Amino acid sequence: MLIAVATFALLATSFGLLLGYSAIRFRVEGDPVADQVDAILPQTQCGQCGYAGCRPYAEAVARDEAEINKCVPGGETVVLTLADLLGKDPLPLEAGEEKPKAVAVIDEKECIGCTLCIQACPVDAILGAAKQMHTVITDECTGCELCVPPCPVECIRMMPIEEDPGSWKWPYPAPAPGHRAQPTVA
């Protein structure tokens, strides 16, 4: 009887040490599914999905706490790619119709230099100083529209980005019934 108890105690200790070593040695930093979802999102950090940015939304999608159809800037392409990655059915965009990509433009003659737009921009795409005119770095602007509401003189407007041969992409065909979309990166 004592030999059986000692054997089970020795096995339990061995397995405990093995599991403890494995937990330390093979530890995964972060959530790999959240990393994959985050890589698919457009990184506009606009908050239109109801989260503070793309990473918090990706983590919520990975934990199955948020639907895959909340990214308005990513549009249908992101919804289809997330559906394929996560093995879910694609859903229509929650926020309605997809908007064309746009950048903020400041009418510099009307700008009073209040810096409210600079404070609202999540990607620091607006240059300027207090009581000086501001301008938008168009290559950095994500088109999130967060700078428009705080402007007291309404000198910021969103201008659609014109398609040129470098930015134009073929539209994706509608998937056949029962067929999953292929993963793409927008």
Enumerate domains of the chain plus CATH numbers. Answer: 32-86 (1.10.15.40), 100-160 (3.30.70.20)
pLDDT at 127 over 60: yes
Residue 110 Cα distances to 100, 125, 135, 156, 160, angstroms: 26, 19, 12, 9, 21
User: Model pTM greater than 0.85?
Assistant: no
Cβ contacts of 164 within 8 Å, gap of 6 or more: none
**What pLDDT score does 169 carry?**
61
pLDDT tens figures, 134-179: 899 988 888 888 899 999 999 999 998 877 776 666 555 555 555 5
Q: For residue 13, is pLDDT > 90?
A: yes
Structure tokens at 25: 């040695």
pLDDT at 19 over 50: yes
pLDDT at residue 118 tops 60: yes
Per the structure block, which two tokens stand in for 2?
């004592």
Burial group, residue 33, by CB count within 10 angstroms (0-12, 13-18, 19+):
middle
Assigned token pair, 104: 């903020």
Q: Over the range 82-102, which residues count as b (16 or more CB within 10 Å of their CB) and which as e?
A: bbbbeebebeebebeeeeebb
Task: Report pLDDT for 186.
Answer: 46
Tokens of 73: 């800037």
Return the amino acid letter for 150: P
Which amino acid would we find at residue 83? A
How many CB atoms are located within 10 Å of the residue 180 CB? 14
Average pLDDT of the residues in 4-31: 89
CB contact set of 7 (below 8 Å; sequence gap of 6+): none
Positive/negative CA dihedral, 141, 101, 151, 105:
positive
Cβ pair 92, 67 in contact under 8 A = no
- Quote the mean pLDDT of the chain: 83
